[in-house]
A and B are shown apart, each in its own frame.
Chain A
C-alpha cells in the first residue's frame, strides 16, 4: 500500500502529478520540471520531504554510538550543528547517506533516505552498544524544505517564524535550533539539497499540512510554489550532490564516490573503517567523474561510458541540465582512466556519443549566500 505524506492532499489540489516514490505517493512535478527548477534557482520553492526517515538516538552513550555508526566526526560537532555523512557496512560500502543533527551529547538525530529508513533502523539496532535508545521516529516527523535565494526573506517574513526571527537571521549553514509552536518542538535547520540557500523544518506529522499551507500562502509574494521530485533531482544533480541508488549504494565505497571528505579514518573505530583503511592504502577501483556530452543526446543512469571504444564505467546520474542547458552526467569509471583522457563517449542506445570530462560541481552552490 502506498503511503501518503501529511501534505498529499495539498499536492493534489495544487495540480501535482503524483507518482510512487519509496512507497509514498509523491508529486513529481507541478508546473513542469524546468519551470520549477528555475523557480528554486531564482526565487524560492517548497518541497515536501516528509517521506525522509528520522531516527533518534538518546542516552548517555548517544554521541559515542553515533560516532561508531557513521564515518564523519560527530563528536567534533557543536551542539546545534549538523554534518553530512555516510553509514557503511563492514565492507566499507554505503548503506545510506544521512544528516546527523547533534542536539547534545545525549541526543542525536539521523535523517536518512525514505527508501532506507527501515534498513538503517535495523542496522543500528544490530550494532547497538552502550547506553543508547534508538527510535525510528519517521512516522512522527513531517518535513518541509524551503529552498532558493528568497528562502530567508520568506521565512523571516512568515508568521510561523516571527517568534524566532532573530535566531533565524543569524543561523549559519548546517546549523539548527528548536522552538515551540502550539506546544510542539519544531526543528529548523539551514540545510537542503538544491545548491541554494535553504532551510528544512521538522514538525509533528499532524501539524505539517497546516504549516505548509500557511507558508505557501504567505510565500506567494516571494514567488514561492511547491516543487516536485523531478526538479528536486535536477537541482541536486547540478551541484553534484550524491544520491543513494545512483552515485552510492551497497556496492560502492564512499571513497570511490568522492566522499572521502566525510570519511574520518583517523577517528576511533566505526563500522566499515577497517575496509576503508585497506581500500585507501590499495587505491579504490573506481572514481566518480563528471562528463559533458559533445554530441547530441541526453546521458542517463546506467549508460556505458567508453574510452577509445572500451567500456570503462557507467553513468550514475545524467540529465539535461536546466541551468546549463546541456546533457551532463556523473559516472563511476575505472580509476586508471587518465585525468586528461580524450576519446571518451557515452553509449546512448548502442551509439557512442562523444563526451568530455566536465569539472564537478557543474553548478557552483550558493548555500553560503
Chain B
C-alpha cells in the first residue's frame, strides 16, 4: 500500500480501498509512537465489525493500544503473520504489517476519513 493512496482516522489507522475490499493497518506515525510491538489480538474471520468499534489490540513493550475499525463490514482475512512476528508492524506498517481485510458494507463511510494530506496536517497540529 502506498501511504499517499490510503485514507486515515484520527486514531492513526489507515485504510486502503480496492473494489469494496478495505485493507486496514496503522500508520508509521502510530507504529513509531508505540515502539516495539510485541503482541496483537485480531478479530475473527467472518465477524461483522462497525466503524469506530474496537476490533483489535496492539501491545507494545510499555503500552497497549486499541485498533479501531475505520469502516463497517465483514472481516474476510486477518494477517496471521502478525501473531508470530508482530514486529512486522514496526518494520513495514503499510505493506507486510496490515491487520485485516474487510468487505465494506457502506462506502459512504469513507467520507468520515482523512486523506493523506489532511492526515499529515492533523499530525502536524497534534504535535
Given the interface pairs A298-B59, A349-B57, the reply to whether A320 lies near B64 with Cβ below 8 Å is: no
Is there contact, CB below 8 Å, between B35 and A320? no
B39 touching A297, Cβ below 8 Å = yes
- A32 lies within 8 A of B39 (CB): no
Rounded to whole angstroms, the CA-CA distance of A333 and B35 in the bound complex is: 31
User: Do A34 and B36 have beta carbons less than 8 Å apart?
Assistant: yes
Which residues in chain A, 275-309, are within 8 Å of chain B measured between CB atoms? 296-298, 300
Q: Are B61 and A34 in contact (CB under 8 A)?
A: yes
Most chain A Cβ neighbours within 10 Å, of B35, B39, B57, B64: B35
Determine the interface band of chain A, counting residues with CB < 8 A from chain B.
10 to 19
Tell me if A300 and B35 are in contact (CB < 8 A).
no
CB-based contact B61/A319 at 8 Å: yes
Interface membership of A234, Cβ < 8 A: yes
Question: B24 an interface residue at 8 Å Cβ cutoff?
Answer: no
Shortest distance from the beta carbon of A293 to any chain B beta carbon, whole Å: 10
Interface 0/1 of A10-32, CB less than 8 Å to B: 00000000000000000011001
The answer, among B36, B41, B57, B62, for a CB contact under 8 Å with A233, is B62
| B38 interface hit (Cβ, 8 Å) | yes
Q: Which of B59, B60, B61 has the most CB of A within 10 A?
A: B61
Q: Which of A230, A296, A297, A349 contacts B61 (CB 8 A)?
A: A230
Complex Cα gap A218–B61 (Å): 30
Inter-chain contacts of B64 with A (CB < 8 A): 298, 300
Provide the residues of chain A in CB contact with B36, threshold 8 Å: 32-34, 322
Judged by DSSP, the binding face of B is strand
Report the contact-size class of chain B (Cβ under 8 Å from the partner): 10 to 19
By beta carbon, the residue of chain A nearest B90 is A32
Given A33-B62, A230-B62, A233-B62, verify A320-B39 contact (CB < 8 Å).
yes
Residues of A within 8 A of B60 (CB): 33
A29 CB contacts on chain B under 8 angstroms: 35
Taking CB as reference atom, which chain A residue is nearest B62?
A: A230
Residues in B neighbouring A297, C-beta threshold 8 A: 39, 41, 59
Q: Which of A28, A230, A234 has the most CB of B within 10 A?
A: A230
State in angstroms the CA–CA spacing of A322 and B61 once bound together.
8
Known: A233-B62, A298-B59, A298-B64. A32 touches B35 (CB 8 A): yes
User: Scoring B residues 41 to 66 as 1 if CB is less than 8 Å from chain A, else 0, what string do you get?
Assistant: 10000000000000001011110100
CA distance in complex: A32, B41 (Å): 22
| Interface contact B57-A33, CB-CB below 8 Å | no
Bound together, the chains give a CA A251 to CA B59 distance in angstroms of 29
Given A296-B39, A298-B39, A320-B39: A33 touches B61 (CB 8 Å cut-off): yes
The CA of A320 and the CA of B60, in the complex, are separated in Å by 8
Q: From residue A38, how far is it (CB to closest CB) to chain B in Å?
A: 11
- A313-369 interface (Cβ within 8 A of B): 319-320, 322, 327, 349
Q: Tell me, rounded to whole Å, the shortest Cβ–Cβ distance linking A315 to chain B.
A: 13
Query: Which A residues from 208 to 240 make CB contacts under 8 A with B?
Result: 230, 233-234
Instruction: Please give me the residue from chain B that is nearest to A325 by CB atom.
Output: B38
Q: Is the CB of B39 within 8 A of A319?
A: no
The answer to whether A319 and B57 touch across the interface, beta carbons within 8 angstroms, is no
In angstroms, Cα B25 to Cα A145, docked, is: 39
Interface of chain B residues 18 through 48 with chain A (CB within 8 A): 35-36, 38-39, 41
Determine whether the beta carbon of A320 is less than 8 Å from that of B61.
Answer: yes
Residues of chain A with a CB closer than 8 A to B61's CB? 33-34, 230, 234, 319-320, 322
Q: A21–B35 Cα gap in the complex (Å)?
A: 18
Q: Is the CB of A298 within 8 A of B38?
A: yes
Chain A neighbourhood of B41, CB < 8 A? 296-297
Other than the known A32-B36, A296-B41, A349-B57, what 14 A-B pairs have Cβ atoms closer than 8 Å? A28-B62, A32-B35, A33-B36, A34-B61, A234-B61, A296-B39, A297-B41, A297-B59, A298-B64, A319-B62, A320-B38, A320-B39, A320-B61, A322-B36
Contact sample, A vs B, 16 pairs, CB 8 Å cutoff: A32-B35, A33-B60, A33-B61, A33-B62, A34-B36, A230-B35, A230-B61, A234-B62, A296-B39, A296-B41, A297-B59, A298-B64, A300-B64, A320-B39, A322-B36, A322-B61
Q: Which 3 A-B pairs have the closest CB atoms?
A: A320-B38, A34-B36, A298-B59
